Structure 1
């Protein structure tokens, strides 16, 4: 058994199809099928159930072996990174994942960290909280920032910011509104632009659940899946949005009216997350510690 066999098996399991896995691995399907059959013969049991639609489903043994295969591959990746670090063959590079609502917290932490680590380089991924957790487990990022109460036995989490949401209004809408603070009912009547995700989770779900609980028919003008589109819509006075106070940049604070929410039901937390197991690069450990004790 070789590492490539484990890589092939994991790819097939994640894609749910030998055809799709072959495409993602950039190899032909027949050789991949043979490699899978050789692996199953060596193990002495079937990893997948096959059907006529060329889709595959993990057997009970396959589910067990998938967890172990991922652990082995992640361990090998960690050993390689650790060895490269030991020989100083790689740059000081840190991969970070963040939600749009955690980005300002992330930038503040990066600014502080760079004061003592001037040569560090960054790869930054923006996604939703669920996807950030997956990126961590896939070792595509070293550390992440999320805003949801998520649990995973393989991930450590620590709250670093306790927050409250505010309403962000373009100047023309703020003049018509003429308020110093907004109630939930008043918010529901304003034209709302809300950032959502394919998982229907996070702050969007909390907002909609609150309106439903209060039996309010929210005036949602647009749901968007991209943070840059949200800013574009705000700049064109399409409506108002609801954001954690800590996520508001200097530009937004300058160009828009920020109003508090009375009896605020939305009190999000920003959490830093990292892997429990496997090797964590020294620069990532240092960055995590900086976040926890700053």
Structure 2
């Protein structure tokens, strides 16, 4: 049994004619007839009833075998298609936007992708979450990376979101602060300090609302400038509140993350987003596979 024989019997079942199948396969009629006869002999079954007036009609046993053969050929085509998708040389552009802080989490995937697809130009930007969502809707970027809580995710019903990392809220304190010795910090402990926050509108509003349950938080400023936040903390001007994975990148040795014990505040996810219903390009799809 070989694939050629399977292709012949599937085609004969469609055309009801060995002659037409021979024409479709660009071979002689005797080649098709002999090939099918050899397969019938191997299987010990008659696959077709042959009649001058009706043509080649599958027997009941033949219908079952031909159905199986069609399934095999379909799966083989899918296998070939997927293999080709990995071997094709990609060229073009991949535009990514991420919120500041966790960009380091993407570097390994980006480096591997550029190595495998050197003809794809990768551009990555840091933007606020609102800007990222706007750019996704307008098509200005191919893929966006944002942070969401479970509550916030439930509000984005038009967004396809895949979680990559799960984090928890921490307080960034100067290394020299007594708070750096704490295992966790209670919300009411923050009331005696100024805070500098990353300007993520969704999480910032949610966080400040929760902190307000313990008293009015003193927000010195909110910004997307990570360096400004780090400088304010190092200088002892304020504390910052953020997600633990944002403190894993280099350059923050003087800042200690301490868990924020905020009851009812669930995990914060970092993941990639696309608008629901938007067709992702081949380049985007292959990059996403690196993240899974």
* TM, length-normalised to structure 1: 0.58
**What is the deviation of 1:116?**
3.6
Match of 1:280 in 2: 280
Q: In structure 2, do the counterparts of structure 1 residues 114 and 99 end up closer, same or farther at CA, with 3 Å as the change threshold?
A: same
2:237 is aligned with 1:234:
no
Consecutive unaligned residues of structure 2, counting only runs of 5 or more, are 1-87
Query: Residue 163 of structure 2: which of 159, 163, 172 is its match?
Result: 159
Pairwise CA RMSD: 2.8
Shift in CA distance, 114/255, structure 1 to aligned 2, threshold 3 Å: farther
Listed as ranges, the matches of 1:126-145 within 5 Å are 126-145=126-145
C-alpha separation in 1, matches of 2:275 and 2:180: 46
Q: How far apart are the structure 2 equivalents of 1:125 and 1:118?
A: 19
For 2:191, the equivalent position in structure 1 comes to 188
C-alpha contact (below 8 Å) 1:164/1:245 kept by paired residues? yes
1: distance between equivalents of 2:269 and 2:285?
Answer: 22
Pair member with larger Rg: 2
CA distance in 2 between counterparts of 1:144 and 1:227 reads 19
More strand by share: 2
| Structure-2-length-normalised TM-score | 0.59
1:157-236 to 2 correspondence within 5 Å?
A: 157-172=161-176, 174-175=177-178, 178-196=181-199, 201-214=201-214, 216-236=215-235
Specify every segment of 5 or more residues in structure 1 that has no aligned partner in the other structure, as ranges. Answer: 1-87
Contact 1:98-1:106 at 8 Å conserved across structures: no
Quote the offset at 1:273 in angstroms.
0.8
Alignment partner, residue 78 of structure 2:
none
- Report the count of equivalent residues: 199
Q: Aligned residue for 1:77?
A: none
Distance change in 2, residues 1:193/1:139 (3 Å): same
Partner residue of 2:113?
Answer: 113
Change (3 A) 1:175 1:106: same
